[in-house]
């Protein structure tokens, strides 16, 4: 999964700090992923200054929180549920709320997710997830015939 370059370029503006963070996580079903996050500083409510630059110590604290939240969210679920979290950007909003006390952030997104290592293919695990095909499907008819229907006689 990757954000398009035109979307990223539309978010980058002058007079603000761009904060990026990358972390390697392993899901519960054995996928090893590299997740990248991007965030931008925003003006405070009563700010008069044109720039919204964060100090280096603040950036390090924000990166630490980003790493903790992404690791916690990704390592407790399987890949299927993790993808469901990406769609509404729930991880991004959690990061934004957690870092509000350090420096106000806006446009916090999981920018890129890359699969580093997939687990070995296991047919029994696949059957557990999808169920046995012979048990769930209806029995096939012996011949391609329908049931006989009585027709009314025409008068």
Q: What is the pLDDT of residues 84-132, one digit of tens each?
A: 988 899 999 999 999 999 999 999 999 999 999 988 877 776 777 677 6
Give residue 128's pLDDT: 74
Q: Where are the strands (E) in 42-135, listed by range?
A: 105-117
Please spell the DSSP secondary structure of 7-38, one letter per residue.
Answer: HHHHH--TTB-EEEEEEEEE-TTS-EEEEEEE
What pTM was estimated for this model as a whole? 0.74
């Amino acid at each position: 999964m990757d954000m398009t370059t035109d979307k990223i370029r539309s978010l980058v503006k002058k007079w603000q700090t761009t904060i990026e963070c990358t972390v390697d996580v392993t899901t519960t079903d054995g996928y090893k992923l590299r997740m990248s996050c991007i965030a931008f500083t925003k003006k405070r409510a009563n700010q008069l200054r044109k720039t919204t630059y964060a100090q280096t110590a603040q950036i390090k604290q924000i990166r630490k929180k980003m790493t903790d939240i992404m690791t916690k969210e990704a390592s407790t679920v399987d890949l299927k549920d993790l993808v469901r979290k990406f769609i509404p950007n729930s991880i991004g909003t959690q990061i934004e709320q957690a870092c509000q006390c350090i420096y106000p952030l806006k446009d916090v997104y999981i920018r890129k997710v890359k699969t580093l290592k997939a687990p070995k293919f296991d047919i029994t695990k696949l059957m557990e997830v999808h169920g046995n095909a012979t048990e769930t499907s209806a029995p096939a008819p012996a011949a391609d015939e329908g049931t006989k229907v009585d027709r009314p006689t025409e008068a």
